[in-house]
Amino acid sequence: MRKTLFIFLTVLMTAGVASAQRFAYVDSDYILNNVPEYTDAQKKLDDISKGFQKEVEDKYKEIDGLYKQYQQDQVLLTEDMRKARQKEIEDKEKAVKDLQKKHFGSEGDLFKKRQELIKPIQDKVYDALSKVSTQLGYDMVFDKNGGTTVLYSNPKIDISDKVITQMGYTPKTTTTTPK
């Protein structure tokens, strides 16, 4: 009996605390698409990525040419010459793979450039989100586009437009959030 009463009171207190919490959500993609610096940064990153990709593709074309030339000349080459050509091709393949890793790896040039261009924008969004959440008294804010699946969200608690306004921008499009 005591145990049942204790469990009942615990559930009742937990429910009271949970109902006192205020939640909201934002659409981070929507917010970022309303930040001109983000759009510019994405374009720069796309251009850099295309340049890196072209550089890598050009190196692979060069290797392909060397390999085709090797296949044509193979019957005329001595054993030492064949080994030297094979080693040259293998070394170039290794070099292009290293170049690919240098540009596109988890700590590569593109990652570093992304950090340089996008991180300040993310910090600005977080600061605005923090201010809006504090002003409106929200205890927790979810990202509609994050890893957490939101099956239903009341548009009244979408504070994306408020975050954009806090950052000093005017929303390009409007969410269903009442003003």
Q: Is residue 101 part of a domain?
A: yes
Q: What is the reported pLDDT for 155?
A: 77
Q: Is residue 115 part of a domain?
A: yes
- Helices (runs of H) and strands (runs of E) counted in the chain: 6, 2
Domain membership flag for residue 17: no
- Average model confidence (pLDDT) across the chain: 84
Please report the pLDDT score of residue 104 as a whole number: 95
pLDDT, residue 12, reads 45
Q: What is the CATH number of the domain that holds 146?
A: 3.30.910.20
32 within some domain: yes
Asked whether residue 176 is domain-assigned, the answer is no
Q: In the predicted model, what is the mean pLDDT of residues 24-39? A: 91
Parent domain of 144: 22-166
Q: Is the dihedral of CA 38, 39, 42, 44 positive or negative?
A: negative
Query: Rounded to two decimals, what is the model's pTM?
Result: 0.69
Q: Give the CB-side neighbour count of residue 163, counting CA atoms within 13 A.
A: 31
Decide if 91 is inside a domain.
yes
Q: What is the pLDDT of residues 73-127, one digit of tens each?
A: 999 999 999 999 999 999 999 999 999 999 999 999 999 999 999 999 999 998 9
Residue 13 covered by a domain: no
- Asked whether residue 34 is domain-assigned, the answer is yes
**Structural domains of the chain, count:** 1
pLDDT for residue 19 is more than 80: no
Cα distance between residue 123 and residue 138, in whole Å: 19
